């Protein structure tokens, strides 16, 4: 089928088969680009776009015309819908004994113990690490600018310092877990 010499150009009125043949490669490429950010499979996104385009066609009383720009807009709109749906949905966990959102007393106690152990280990870190990681773990959720001002260091050096501190914390926690597994001290 001739496309009129322009890349991405689609004739104004087409049959359903012509539409599928002409737009499938472009639609597949657009969906492959948008799907990862939307948290959806490219094939699922492509199917949603086809449904949207077909329902739009019904509203247009049988005219089969789709431009490349309209196709891209439909892909992006369906990707936005998928992102919103992913934020609202809670994945089903068949191994969970309780409905989502509820927690038992044991889980709350274990979470509090883990938090206490983490904060105790953070306090034992060397140098600026306790202050930096303490600020990052704060419930106030300060910005990098606020943390840098509080610690008196440049905002640009927070990332490398944070990386070194997290590496040190990881090594300390790994050593504690390994010691307790080998019969060492337990809490």
pLDDT number for residue 107: 82
CATH architecture of 105-181: Orthogonal Bundle (1.10)
Measure CA of the first residue to CA of the last residue in the chain; give whole Å: 74
Maximum Cα interatomic distance, the chain, rounded to a whole number of Å: 77
Give percent of the chain with pLDDT exceeding 70: 73
Residue 23 has pLDDT above 60, yes or no: yes
Q: Give a three-class secondary structure readout of the chain.
A: CCCCCCCCCCCCCCCHHHHHHHHHHHHHHHHHHHHHHHCCCHHHHHHHHHHHHHHHHHHCCCCCCCCHHHHHHHHHHHHHHHHHHHHHCCCCCCCCCCCCCCCCHHHHHHHHHHHHHHHHHHHCCCCCHHHHHHHHCCCCCCCHHHHHHHHCCCHHHHHHHHHHHHHHHHHHHHHHHHHHHCCCCCC
Q: What is the pTM of this model?
A: 0.40
Give me the pLDDT at residue 4, please.
Answer: 47
Confidence of residue 17 (pLDDT cuts 50, 70, 90): confident
Percentage, residues of the chain above pLDDT 90: 2
Domain ranges of the chain: 16-88, 105-181
Q: Which residues contact 82 (CB under 8 A, 6 or more apart)?
A: 38, 39, 40, 44, 45, 48
Is 45:34 a contact under the CB 8 Å cutoff? yes
What's the pLDDT band for 69 if we cut at 50, 70, 90? confident
What are the tens digits of pLDDT across the range 90-148?
777 666 655 555 567 888 888 888 888 888 888 998 888 898 888 888 888 888 888 88
Q: CA 133 to CA 63: how far, in whole Å?
A: 60
More confident residue, 121 or 15: 121
Which range is least confidently modeled, 9-13, 46-50, 86-90, 126-130? 9-13
Question: Contact at 8 Å (CB) between 27 and 74?
Answer: no
């Amino acid at each position: 089928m001739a496309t009129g010499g322009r890349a991405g150009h689609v004739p104004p009125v087409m049959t359903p088969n012509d539409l599928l043949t002409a737009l499938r490669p472009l639609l597949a490429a657009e969906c492959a680009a948008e799907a990862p950010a939307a948290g959806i499979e490219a094939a699922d996104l492509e199917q949603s776009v086809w449904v949207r385009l077909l329902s739009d066609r019904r509203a247009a009383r049988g005219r089969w015309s789709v431009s490349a720009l309209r196709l891209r807009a439909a892909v992006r709109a369906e990707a936005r819908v998928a992102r919103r749906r992913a934020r609202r949905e809670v994945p089903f966990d068949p191994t969970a004994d309780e409905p989502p959102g509820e927690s038992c007393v044991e889980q709350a106690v274990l979470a509090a113990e883990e938090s206490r152990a983490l904060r105790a280990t953070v306090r034992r870190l060397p140098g600026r690490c306790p202050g930096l990681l303490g600020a990052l773990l704060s419930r106030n959720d300060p910005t990098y600018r606020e943390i840098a001002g509080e610690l008196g260091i440049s905002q640009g050096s927070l990332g490398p310092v944070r990386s070194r501190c997290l590496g040190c914390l990881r090594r300390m926690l790994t050593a504690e877990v390994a010691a307790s597994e080998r019969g060492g001290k337990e809490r």
